[in-house]
Structure 1
Amino acid sequence: MPVLDLPPWPYPRWIAHRGAGRLAPENTLAAFRLGAAHGYRMFECDAKLSADGVVFLLHDDGLARTSNGSGIAGEQDWDALSQLDAGAWHSRAYAGEPLASLGAVAAYCQANRLMLNIEIKPTPGHEGQTGREVALAAARLWSRADGNAAGTTPPLLTSFQPEALASAREAAPELPRGLLFDALWTGWLETALTLGCVAVVCEHGLWDLSSMTQAQNAGFRTLAYTVNDEWAAQRLIALGVDSLITDRVDLFPPSA
């Protein structure tokens, strides 16, 4: 297997999952603000397409769990989606919090010198289109930033869907990519190499000495999700993981 010649890793060790984990409504600007208040400099979020092509943040295909909406989010226009309440489900303190567009998140991150890991989360059947449009939007939004501060560091694009990453690579090859895994299926590293990824991102229990060694020997940076216990963090750091994604922004100092 060829060894990749990769540039230095520009991202911090600790990444806040969906903004601030479970402490605020996930994938909203309120969550980003809370994660930043805990000192986090990088955030993971989920991005998908509205029916009229706007890139916005949402994890699920459906709206019911994290908003007062219903139905499939990707089948609705952004005008309707932007009027939903994406905060009241979490707690009364966040009632009225809207869904966030990628444009709004980019503006916040760049103004505050923060970094982003955008997980491409396609509505089923729209993998290629979503990968392309998320990558194009990210390339456009971050090209507006000036200087070399953290907020201008290009976002890391990740996905469980190889088709989405392939389309992202074609649309914006300059943006770094990572393949996500919830199981290490046959050909996992070869697929990441074929997609031109710089990183592999695994459910934290998948990382052991063997898988870590294979990934590092192939030249990949390694990330783990979702790391919410101190014993798990210590184990992964000892293995040599590059970055850890956590809900527990209240437990793990981001500079650790």
Structure 2
Amino acid sequence: MIAGHRGAASLAPENTLSAFKKALQSGAKWIELDTQLSADKIPVIFHDETVDRCTNGEGLVADFTFSQLQALDTGSWFSAVFIGEQIISLEQTLLFFMENDLNMNLEIKVHHSEQAEPLVDAVSKVLAKVNFPNEKLIISSFSELALAHCHRVMPSIRLGYITDKNPLIKLEKLKPLNLYSVHIDHKILEETMAKKVTDSGLKLIIWTLNDVTQADKFRSWGVEMIITDKPDVFVKA
């Protein structure tokens, strides 16, 4: 399975509606994206802690209300074609995914530990409001606090642990969370590590692979999903 990273980050500004449309057009069935809270506690789709890199503004995402975030231009940094692109809410995004039969790998983006529980609570409310289907969703995070709270408030949702380190030392500790998947930086994955993850019954997902010539190797190691900036290339491979 191929998942577009932040939509299709090589084709459109990441984590935007245009990026999700590009991933959809490429034939990807899964899209990976990030959510965090605005100042008025609305889950929005954005990766960085600050708006500096991907908008024409400056400052912490958490210091902007949703309406203030929507007033920023989040497309022109990528290309003049996308001038006027807006930051969108999780709710808007979920509705787009439902309309287009897309699967979501939703990363709970925690920049500080105290953000974990409020963000998970807000995400849970939005998922319930739109009645997003569990079978089309994986919630993932680097944050063990976020995953633990997800398990408490949304016990039926599939959970994925994201890591850029060897996950094996953590898996025993994380057993109470009944994880569905482990999401590993492809740069650190080795065949023996992959086997131990899959032998434990967990699905193996890698990020962010953009060299399509390596795809078959990782699949032979038991990788079930490849997250890539180039879904258009990988879907055709």
When normalised by structure 1's length, the TM-score is 0.87
In the alignment, is residue 137 of structure 1 matched against residue 126 of structure 2? yes
Q: Is contact 1:159–1:165 with CA below 8 Å preserved after alignment?
A: yes
Question: Counterparts of 2:90 and 2:117 in 1: how far apart (Å)?
Answer: 18
Instruction: Identify the match of residue 207 of structure 1 among 189, 192, 201.
Output: 189
Question: Counterparts of 1:187 and 1:131 in 2: how far apart (Å)?
Answer: 25
Q: Counterpart of 1:232 in 2: which secondary structure?
A: helix
Provide closer, same or farther for how the CA distance between residues 38 and 48 of structure 1 changes in structure 2, counting only shifts above 3 A. same
Q: Trace 1:215-234 onto structure 2 (pairs within 5 A).
A: 215-234=197-216
Instruction: Identify the match of residue 181 of structure 1 among 157, 163, 174.
Output: 163
Q: Is contact 2:168–2:197 with CA below 8 Å preserved after alignment?
A: no
Provide closer, same or farther for how the CA distance between residues 177 and 197 of structure 1 changes in structure 2, counting only shifts above 3 A. same
1:253 aligned partner, one-letter code: V
Q: Paired residue for 1:148?
A: none
Question: Counterparts of 2:85 and 2:135 in 1: how far apart (Å)?
Answer: 27
What fraction of aligned residue pairs are identical, expressed as a percent? 30
CA drift of 1:209 comes to 2.2
Q: Relative to total residues, which structure has the larger helix share, 1 or 2?
A: 2
Q: Unmatched 5+ residue regions in structure 2? A: none
Question: How large is the Cα RMSD of the aligned pairs?
Answer: 1.7
Question: Counterparts of 2:155 and 2:129 in 1: how far apart (Å)?
Answer: 13
Q: Paired residue for 1:99?
A: 87
Q: Counterpart of 1:93 in 2: which secondary structure?
A: helix
Q: Paired residue for 1:34?
A: 22
Question: Counterparts of 1:139 and 1:216 in 2: how far apart (Å)?
Answer: 31
Question: Counterparts of 1:55 and 1:117 in 2: how far apart (Å)?
Answer: 15
Q: Is contact 1:135–1:171 with CA below 8 Å preserved after alignment?
A: yes
Question: Counterparts of 2:204 and 2:90 in 1: how far apart (Å)?
Answer: 25
CA drift of 1:186 comes to 6.4
Question: Counterparts of 2:181 and 2:135 in 1: how far apart (Å)?
Answer: 16
Q: Trace 1:165-176 onto structure 2 (pairs within 5 A).
A: 165-176=147-158
Q: Is contact 1:129–1:167 with CA below 8 Å preserved after alignment?
A: no
Q: Deviations over 1:170-202 (max 9, x none)?
A: 111111100001011662212332322110000
Q: Deviations over 1:117-159 (max 9, x none)?
A: 000002423122223322332243234x6xxxxxx73311000
Q: Counterpart of 1:223 in 2: which secondary structure?
A: strand
Q: Is contact 1:50–1:74 with CA below 8 Å preserved after alignment?
A: yes
Question: Counterparts of 2:175 and 2:64 in 1: how far apart (Å)?
Answer: 35
Q: Is contact 1:132–1:164 with CA below 8 Å preserved after alignment?
A: no
When normalised by structure 2's length, the TM-score is 0.93
Q: Counterpart of 2:4 in 1: which secondary structure?
A: strand
1:104 aligned partner, one-letter code: Q
Question: Counterparts of 1:185 and 1:68 in 2: how far apart (Å)?
Answer: 37
Instruction: Identify the match of residue 161 of structure 1 among 143, 147, 151.
Output: 143
Q: Paired residue for 2:173?
A: 191
Q: Counterpart of 1:46 in 2: which secondary structure?
A: strand
Q: Paired residue for 2:96?
A: 108
Q: Is contact 2:198–2:222 with CA below 8 Å preserved after alignment?
A: no
Aligned length: 236
